[in-house]
Structure 1
């Protein structure tokens, strides 16, 4: 473990950083987001009022549609943190979102389930 003044920031205490980024919040601005929810920058977003660099990074990334999971992976943030930040941006009109398409098709085919189970066993 390092003992200089910045050793705790990212490598040794990533939870502290997450807590700071979300300002201690555990939920976003009232938007329930699935990891597959697609987000894209709004047509005419207002001027950015957030000073945290993560918000700017999300907006730059979302110039093309991204899922919440992709945002999280690209920014190397925990999924829960990404959901909070993305929900903030949606709530303030910076991002537009679209819930994942729900289908009634499920893995009801027994042969498909057996093939998946066989694949798992081979691992």
Structure 2
């Protein structure tokens, strides 16, 4: 055995076709495989989850989808904050007679909703948008000059007049 004999190398005097000597015993033959018995398929018992899935599928019957199942941040270009300070009760109105056709689908639909005076919360509900995404889209429309806002300005501290009206309303309860 040469210096590298522990790795099974050959000495120069052995022919190349001679098998390597091995210290490990030859592997035993695997036991014969016996044919398995064929059994009838087991019936699957429906679970509560299967019932819930079936109920969900049935409840979706008749609903129409616009083909867009997209995350809200993707619908707003990744933006999560609006430039305009929009409260839930801020009223929105359309400023133009015709909504431009080049707008993205969500922007176009929100602009169409604003033909009649609607609140930010209503836009969110009618379009099934999270309030943050609705605010971003409305803010875009305001910047384009298509939509105007009106309603209570509650960005600062409440006025004394507002506090008196709230107090009178509470006393009437």
User: TM-score if structure 2 supplies the norm length?
Assistant: 0.49
Detail structure 1 runs of 4+ shifted over 6 Å in the superposition.
none
- Relative distance call for 1:112 and 1:67 in structure 2 (3 A) is same
Match in the other structure for 1:77: 129
- Relative distance call for 1:112 and 1:31 in structure 2 (3 A) is closer
Deviation at 1:101, TM superposition (A): 5.6
Gaps in structure 1 of 5+ consecutive residues? 3-8, 11-15, 116-123
Match in the other structure for 1:118: none
> Number of residues paired by the alignment?
101
- The CA distance in 2 between the partners of 1:100 and 1:48, in whole Å, is 31
Match of residue 90, structure 2, among 32, 37, 51: 37
Kept in 1: contact 2:99–2:111 (CA 8 A): no
SS of the counterpart of 1:105?
helix
Structure with the bigger RCO (C-alpha within 8 Å, sep 6+) is 1
Matched ranges for 1:85-96 at <5 A: 85-96=137-148
Deviation at 1:45, TM superposition (A): 6.4
Match in the other structure for 1:25: 79
SS of the counterpart of 1:26?
coil
The structure with the larger Rg is 2
Deviation at 1:90, TM superposition (A): 0.5
- Map Cα deviations across residues 38-57 of structure 1 (whole Å, 9 max, x no partner): 11111356735422x11111
- The CA distance in 2 between the partners of 1:101 and 1:88, in whole Å, is 20
